[in-house]
Chain A
């Protein structure tokens, strides 16, 4: 069973990295939202799905291609996020985390239900942009161009987000506002608006991941719900709220999952949760989290 061939293993590692880039993008958005708003955003999967659907509609109703979708979908879905934050989440900041979780979970079920009712569960096809179809023959595997693009794009986005929050003045304001909103407000910064925009940004990241996913997977209402639980495990392992933690764990776990699919495929959808259980036992704050 364990006849390991190096080329096959290299292929699996690369494929793992590709999946990891989705995990990283999604868990990054979650980490930003949790770190700065203290909201456990269970709507994230639904927002990822909405991003893919926006891409589908842009292409099929308005004739706007993939590259437009990369810009418009995050803005459009991010805007719905802003509305949700203003109308609903805002009321919950003073309460326990649990209320935010319940609200966003309920919203996710409603959104997915509406989409399923409208579009069915088999989903809709989204074709790959012409430039990115085809692939490279790496000798040990055939790497589709599109997947290579997803890895690169997601790395760039993840690292710039990290830079924005951890290394710029704006990021410093944001972090300060979560520590002590009253004080930051006293310095003349509009904290509520900043928080609203942060939620919109996190949601936009989810939508962007959705656009990345559209050509690979079927654009279907349940595409988010099958991913969101794994992504939560990634966030928990990385440490709730840690930006770099969620990026590294996202990529890392993608690789581990890829290897599991090679050595023992039956366990490939549980391996991440096994790791989560172990991490919680020995380091409850997560690998990169601080107490």
Chain B
């Protein structure tokens, strides 16, 4: 009897303190919604691996010990903006989701960006690339973590022009992402004194690129810039080899290539590709430890920069929530911008007023099969682009949050 009474008192006390700690947390739960492509061409670079990354961040933050209850839900937007919008709305309106993370596919991300802003929640974008998310379409509720089209163009585009690739043919995925990447790369090429000979736009998720590759060959451009991603990039590279693009003296530029794409292609096809990213698992002890842990829980697949960005973004979000003792969306994002970021994957950094997360970027080259020593040993780092030069200058984005 006495024991039972004690237990009840203890439970009540615990409930009270817990309640006090969570006074400002809606529903007493911080709910994270991972929204991405889980079944199609972008599923490997984000997909279920991003949900895993979010869970690892919660674990590493030791949310429970800090009195925070954090839950993760995830869903497949099928690369359709309407499906993504419906899920986001339902999550926020009836399921108490506080923050939506990942959302590769810029088309869906731009839709979610607007919904989250209207509803005063938080959007931490890792998977989508369009630089408009921190430019013309910037929002006080959005943080763009991992990379963007300006950064890719600036890294890969200018490196290639410097190596003599001054005439370009663009093979562009025909939606918001491809258009933004083509636009930002074209600007870099022109600025560096290069020329864009021609461009062609292909539908998202195309199987056969032979028609487009023939047009690229006919254009006689030195560089075929692939402003596409995931499965589309893989198929382009495979078929370019078949049509003898390299033998004809033309080179492919992968403007957005993920670790999983290189893995899918195999090093014999991917070797020599130059690309820009912001996270590679084999950088330091912190990244290696994370990658090993991640791969063990992800069927042996190593993390991409998108999944790393989900981890780091969620970690920083939780820090802001804990510091604020509230999950009020607009306030949390303001807090996230105020606090310096620090995590094992991207190191120390900041989030700018326009929502842009700032960290270094790396220009890498894909290794030859003979240089690779183990699983996923794919990249050698050619150059580090320092954080202050990796992303578009604050004043150039046209974001309304930036005071002129």
A-side interface residues toward B, CB under 8 Å? 5, 7-8, 11-12, 15-16, 18-19, 113, 116, 120-125, 127-128, 133-135, 141-142, 144, 146-147, 216-218, 220, 222-223, 226-227, 258, 261-262, 265-266, 268-269
Contacts and interface: CB of A to CB of B under 8 A. Distances in A.
Interface of B: 39-45, 47, 174, 200-203, 205-208, 210-212, 214-215, 217-218, 230-231, 234-235, 238-239, 242-244, 248, 260-261, 263-266, 268-269, 299, 301
B39 A265 contact: no
A121 B207 contact: no
A216 B238 contact: yes
Contacts of B39: 113, 116, 121, 222
B207 A226 contact: yes
Nearest to B214: A11
Contacts of B235: 217-218
A122 B270 CA distance: 14
8 contacts: A7-B218, A121-B43, A125-B238, A135-B242, A217-B208, A226-B205, A265-B203, A266-B203
Given A8-B218, A128-B242, A142-B243, A18 B210 contact: yes
A142 B243 CA distance: 6
Contacts of A120: 43-44, 260, 264, 299, 301
A142 B248 contact: yes
A142 B42 CA distance: 31
Contacts of B248: 142
Contact of A122 (B214, B231, B244, B268): B231
A262 B215 contact: yes
A11 B217 CA distance: 11
B84 to A, nearest CB: 18
A121 B211 contact: no
Nearest to A120: B44
A269 B206 contact: yes
A141 B214 contact: yes
Nearest to B261: A122
A261 B248 CA distance: 22
Contacts of B260: 120, 122
Contact of A218 (B43, B214, B264): B264
Contacts of A268: 202-203, 206, 211
Residue from B45, B201, B218, B242 whose CB has the most chain A CB atoms within 10 Å: B242
B21 to A, nearest CB: 39
A13 B72 CA distance: 51
B345 to A, nearest CB: 21
A223 B207 contact: yes
Given A122-B44, A122-B260, A125-B238, 20 more contacts: A15-B214, A16-B211, A121-B40, A122-B45, A122-B264, A125-B266, A135-B244, A147-B242, A216-B208, A216-B238, A217-B208, A218-B235, A218-B238, A220-B264, A226-B207, A261-B202, A261-B211, A266-B174, A266-B203, A268-B203
9 closest residue pairs by CB, A with B: A122-B264, A261-B211, A121-B43, A122-B44, A125-B266, A269-B203, A15-B210, A11-B214, A144-B242
Nearest to B213: A15
A223 B205 CA distance: 10
A8 B260 CA distance: 34
